[in-house]
Structure 1
Amino acid sequence: MIQRITSGDSAPVFALKDNRGEMIDLASFRGKKVLLSWHPLAWTRVCAEQMKSLEAHWAEFERLNTVPLGLSIDPYPAKNAWAKELGIAKVKLLADFWPHGEVTRAYGLFRQEEGFSERANVLLDETGKVLWIKVYEIPELPDINEVLTVIRNSPAI
């Protein structure tokens, strides 16, 4: 079994296509906090609400020097259609599609039996270290206010 990433660990670096087909390199966000928000599958109700909450709080993330990224194992064309359907224009939705779930596995968040990710939030500091991780039950919508409070209370580097 793959070890789940924990607070204090260096986050595995990666480059994935976003919903627009652009390569997004985690290392390019050094100097900012990064919220990696995993949702199991696009086109599902709770996942949609999770990603829409990131978009709705975009200005607050910017004020907190934090980049929110949505991640799942869905392919980027599907994520692009989904983002358009949901009205997500600012948050990048990353596709950990191929090799299937490789980044998700590196973070220890892949559900082997189902073939998709946990629902989880991982907050990275400005140097790429894990500040906070929370894994949710699949049907549970993460509380965006809790996430923002964690970011507000985390030290700036």
Structure 2
Amino acid sequence: MAIEVGTKAPDFELKDNHGRTVRLADYRGEKNVVLLFYPFAFTGVCTGELCALRDELPAFVNDSTQLLAVSNDSIHTLRVFAEQEGLEYPLLSDFWPHGEVSRAYGVFDEDKGCALRGTFVIDKEGVVRWSVLNALPDARDLNEYATALGALDAG
């Protein structure tokens, strides 16, 4: 079960597609975070979702917001995926210990061995302010993320 709105987002440290360490805590006090979990690189729905975010990137990576996308793929897979699709935002590897961060957020599918389609909008204080969890075949509506971010910026 996914963590609830109003709770403190579990901190984490993961490697991105370039091997750099990314910590959620690094954004505390600085930026809101859109934390997006997706099942696998190179799959149809995931590629569509991540490319849609790429095409609207200024709404999700700017002075007040950082997009972080997490899958259970290796950093090497994520590097090739980002290069192939022109993804300029961090793709984080929750590969080992396998699914540890996905489990902390309650979005790991134990039977399939991958993250579900969960998205969390986390404010500058590290509190989850909005979330959505979709079944594996169901793409998310990125306009909902933009609306949630707009509410934070207005608040």
Counterpart-to-counterpart distance in 2, 1:124 and 1:156: 15
2:47 aligned partner, one-letter code: A
Cα distance, 1:51 vs. partner?
Answer: 1.2
Contact 2:61 2:67 in 1 (8 A): no
Counterpart-to-counterpart distance in 2, 1:128 and 1:55: 24
Contact 1:64 1:152 in 2 (8 A): no
* Aligned length in residues: 154
Aligned to 1:140: 138
Aligned to 2:127: 129
Aligned to 1:20: 18
Flag structure 2 segments of 5+ consecutive residues without an equivalent: none
Q: Which moved more, 1:144-153 or 1:12-21?
A: 144-153
Give runs of ≥4 in structure 1 deviating > 6 Å: none
Counterpart-to-counterpart distance in 2, 1:127 and 1:156: 15
Instruction: Choose the corresponding residue for 2:93, options 92, 95, 98.
Output: 95
Contact 1:64 1:151 in 2 (8 A): no
1:64-143 equivalences in 2 (<5 Å)? 65-89=64-88, 91-143=89-141
TM-score by structure 2 length?
0.93
Secondary structure of the 2:148 match is helix
Instruction: Choose the corresponding residue for 2:8, options 7, 10, 13.
Output: 10
RMSD value, Cα: 1.5
Cα distance, 1:154 vs. partner?
Answer: 2.6
Counterpart-to-counterpart distance in 2, 1:94 and 1:63: 19
Counterpart-to-counterpart distance in 2, 1:133 and 1:150: 9
Secondary structure of the 1:120 match is strand
What percentage of residue pairs aligned between the two structures are identical?
A: 36
What is the CA deviation profile of residues 99-124 of structure 1, one whole-angstrom value per residue up to 9, with x for unaligned ones?
00000001111100111011111110
TM-score by structure 1 length?
0.92
Instruction: Choose the corresponding residue for 2:27, options 2, 23, 29.
Output: 29
Cα distance, 1:63 vs. partner?
Answer: 4.8
Counterpart-to-counterpart distance in 1, 2:34 and 2:51: 14
1:14 aligned partner, one-letter code: F
Flag structure 1 segments of 5+ consecutive residues without an equivalent: none
